[in-house]
Amino acid sequence: MSPGSVTISATSEGQSGSASLSVTAVPPVPVASVNVALAASSRNPGQTTQATATTRDANNNVLTG
């Protein structure tokens, strides 16, 4: 869903109605910390390894997306 306005209309059994809906953008939550975990494989110069990063907000909640 993206920011904007819409009017929703419906008709049933001769009755109709409508409602307006406005969607506003929510500002992004600032990242307070980033934790990077490396895979448990040996890490020698020139080798690659898998890494996983987890971002958290100021309340220690994991941020997604």
The residue type found at 61 is N
Contact assessment for residue 24 and residue 6, using Cβ atoms and an 8 Å cutoff: no
Q: What gap in Å lies between CA 50 and CA 6, rounded to an integer? A: 45
- Per residue in 9-50, pLDDT tens? 999 999 999 999 999 998 889 999 999 998 877 677 888 888
pLDDT of residue 54 exceeding 90, the answer is yes
The residue type found at 48 is T
Total domains in the fold of the chain? 1
**Structure confidence at residue 46 (pLDDT):** 81
**Structure confidence at residue 42 (pLDDT):** 67
Residues of the domain holding 8: 4-63
More confident site: 12 or 65? 12
More confident site: 15 or 2? 15
